[in-house]
Structure 1
């Protein structure tokens, strides 16, 4: 699986977590949040990304955890991360279309 595909999948779970959080459904939010972290952790431990990408992946995890679990209770703007993940989803889709 390409890095774009892996991060596109993380982004899908990120969107689900955001949506469930906005709806106030704690159980579904927690499931999506845990799944998102599982996918991101799998990406971080992927040996192919043990290079300059590792720092960005670990920082991404920190930013996501701060957004959802941080002590700062101010409303956060999730547009930056949504845009970040969107680009990976688009790239993954275009790479998949090229293979067909």
Structure 2
């Protein structure tokens, strides 16, 4: 059974999905080391949206691998880059390019 969110999410292009993830990653970066509750909520939301995107059958193959790498890098950034040296500002820049592409109509 699919949720309303999944149904809505599946109508978005990949750029729109990643752009929405960018918003949550940006919020996480904003609240990091300032407000733990808001930070953790943004992290949870970003990961949930990444999971929804990964379940979208349209992104099988290379796009799915890229999403898995991005998720791992984001998780690393949340943990202060202990494994790969990822940072939240880096992840925000990575995802923001997709938000900008979605706004300009690139799919």
Aligned equivalent of 2:13:
2
Do structure 1's residue 93 and structure 2's residue 87 form an aligned pair? no
Query: Cα deviation per residue 1:59-78 (whole Å; 9 max; x = unaligned)?
Result: 100000011126729x8544
Q: How does 1:30-41 map to 2 (within 5 A)?
A: 30-41=40-51
Aligned equivalent of 2:9:
none
Structure with the bigger percentage of helix: 1
Task: Please report the TM-score for the alignment, with normalisation by the length of structure 2.
Answer: 0.78
RMSD: 2.2
Aligned equivalent of 1:72:
82
Residue of 34, 51, 56 corresponding to 2:61: 51
- 1:55/1:92 CA distance change after superposition, 3 Å: same
Shift of 1:87: 1.2
What stretches of structure 1 of length at least 5 have no aligned partner? none
Query: Whose relative contact order is higher, 1 or 2, with alpha carbons under 8 Å and at least 6 apart?
Result: 1
Task: Please report the TM-score for the alignment, with normalisation by the length of structure 1.
Answer: 0.83
Aligned residues: 94
Runs of 4+ that moved beyond 2 A: 69-73, 75-83
